[in-house]
């Protein structure tokens, strides 16, 4: 029989090397998958790992995809480090997009560029409001935040559909379920002409710096992490578990809402049913592959962005289904969990009679 036995001292080297090993395992399994599908594995790997970086435009698109993933992952890392399991970042992302769109639709030809600030703030507040529902139900009724946050995602999708099929539907949009295109003045400023890359990337990089300072250089960040690792010690030290819960969820919701605002007022330019792109769920993988560290999540967000773009290219150039993106995301998460298990535990053979 095989038995998992806890290692006396997990390897510090492999604790950080585990994501790299997980990526290698994902690539190997991906090669096998391409061969099973009767596709050239070299061409398949080229589509996923070379095409997204082969030109300046491709690099811009890579960063466009990575920006919302990084923003959401930064917020989720705060939750996970404080042992608050926010699985509904996708819903908070959608509510942020809806709130930002509501402000953007108020603009007209005479509106000044100052409208960008209220749009971004509306997105942040929208995400915080949606996460606040989860915090309230957990705090007041001890509801499970995993189920509540996840179920609220589907409510957010229905709110989105109601708005684009109902009051915000573009009367001149040939009956398509979408809002009118936002005025140019509402758009998030772009960094390069001819590219969709916007100043949203600066928000993401500032978020990395701010989150690093918050988690590792402030008392509030220390209190959150102690509460997650050792709740009894946190109570003994006088740290508020309620405060940690609300702080973690509001920060996480605000970051997801910010990502939603930057998307609809940036690359998308209007509110459509296709705003939910799975970023909120993919960001969970980004957070864990990045070891819940702000700097590590920069690299994992770029990697996950490659999977998104690679999946789209595989669909158009190799004739593979777009769901291949989700397959690679799942493989990466599964490989990471397997590697982490072997870092902390070792397999030991035991005789059948041993208990």
Q: Does the residue 196 lie in any domain? A: yes
Q: Among residues 220, 211, 209, 224, which one has the least CA distance to residue 79?
A: 224
- 158 found inside a domain: yes
Query: Positive or negative CA dihedral for 52, 55, 57, 63?
Result: positive
- Structural domain range at position 264: 82-287
pLDDT in tens, 291-323: 999 999 999 999 999 999 999 899 888 888 878
Question: DSSP letter string over 276-311?
Answer: --SHHHHHHHHHHHTTT-HHHHHHHHHHHHHHHHHH
| Cβ burial, residue 94 (10 Å; 0-12/13-18/19+) | buried
| Predicted confidence band of residue 225 (pLDDT cuts 50, 70, 90) | confident
Q: Is residue 255 part of a domain?
A: yes
- The Cα 304–Cα 296 span in angstroms is 13
- Do 41 and 215 meet the contact criterion of CB atoms below 8 Å apart? no
Query: What is the DSSP code string of 8-72?
Result: SS--HHHHHHHHHHHHHHHHHHHHHHHHHTT--HHHHHHHHHTGGGSSHHHHHHHHHHHHHHHHH
Q: Is the pLDDT of residue 234 over 70?
A: yes
Nearest to 224 by CA among 209, 212, 240: 240
| For residues 6-32, average pLDDT | 90
Helix, strand, or coil (residue 115): helix
Which pairs count as long-range contacts for 129-133, CB under 8 Å and 24+ apart, including other chains? 129/95, 129/99, 129/253, 130/88, 130/91, 130/92, 130/95, 130/96, 130/156, 130/253, 130/257, 131/86, 131/88, 131/92, 131/249, 131/250, 131/252, 131/253, 131/254, 131/256, 132/246, 132/249, 132/250, 132/253
Checking if the pLDDT of 252 tops 90, the result is yes
Tell me if 253 is assigned to some domain: yes
Q: Sorting pLDDT into bands at 50, 70 and 90, what band is 34?
A: very high
Number of domains, the chain: 1
Would you state the pLDDT for residue 121? Answer: 98
- pTM value? 0.94
In a domain, 3, yes or no: no
Can you name the residues that pair with 6 across neighbouring β-strands?
Answer: 345
Cα–Cα distance, 42 to 45 (Å, whole number): 5
Q: Is residue 324 part of a domain?
A: no
Mean pLDDT over 115-132 rounds to 97
Which position has the higher pLDDT, 273 or 12? 273
pLDDT at 355 over 60: no
Q: What is the DSSP string of 200-253?
A: HHHHHHHHHHHHHHHHHHSHHHHHHHHHHH-HHHHHHTT--HHHHHHHHHHHHH
């Amino acid at each position: 029989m095989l038995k998992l036995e806890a290692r006396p001292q997990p390897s510090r080297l492999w604790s950080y090397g585990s994501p790299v090993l997980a990526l290698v395992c994902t690539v190997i399994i991906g090669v096998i998958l391409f061969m099973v599908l009767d596709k050239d594995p070299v061409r398949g790997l080229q589509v996923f790992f070379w095409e997204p970086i082969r030109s300046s435009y491709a690099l811009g698109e890579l960063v466009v995809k990575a920006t919302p993933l990084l923003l959401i992952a930064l917020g989720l890392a705060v939750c996970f480090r404080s042992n608050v399991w926010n699985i509904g970042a996708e819903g908070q992302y959608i509510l942020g997009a809806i709130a930002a769109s509501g402000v953007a639709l108020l603009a007209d030809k005479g509106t000044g560029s100052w409208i960008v600030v209220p749009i971004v703030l509306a997105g942040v507040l929208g995400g915080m409001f949606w996460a606040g529902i989860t915090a309230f139900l957990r705090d007041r009724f001890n509801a499970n935040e995993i189920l509540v946050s996840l179920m609220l995602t589907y409510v957010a999708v229905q709110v989105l559909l109601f708005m684009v099929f109902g009051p915000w539907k573009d009367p001149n949009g040939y009956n398509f379920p979408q809002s009118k295109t936002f005025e140019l003045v509402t758009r998030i400023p772009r960094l390069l002409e001819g590219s969709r890359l916007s100043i949203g990337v600066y928000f993401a990089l500032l978020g990395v710096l701010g989150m690093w300072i918050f988690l590792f250089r402030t008392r509030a960040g220390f209190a959150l992490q102690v509460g997650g690792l050792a709740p009894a010690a946190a109570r003994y030290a006088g740290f508020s578990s309620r405060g940690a819960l609300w702080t973690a969820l509001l920060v996480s919701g605000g970051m997801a809402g910010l990502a939603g605002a930057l998307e609809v007022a940036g690359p998308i330019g209007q509110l459509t049913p296709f705003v939910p792109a799975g970023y909120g769920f993919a960001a969970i993988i980004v957070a864990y592959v990045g070891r819940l560290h702000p700097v590590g999540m920069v690299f994992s967000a770029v990697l996950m962005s490659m999977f998104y773009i690679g999946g789209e290219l595989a669909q158009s150039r190799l004739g593979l289904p777009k769901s291949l993106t989700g397959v690679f995301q799942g493989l990466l998460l599964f490989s990471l969990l397997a590697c982490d298990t072997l870092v902390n535990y070792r397999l030991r053979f035991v005789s059948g009679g041993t208990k």
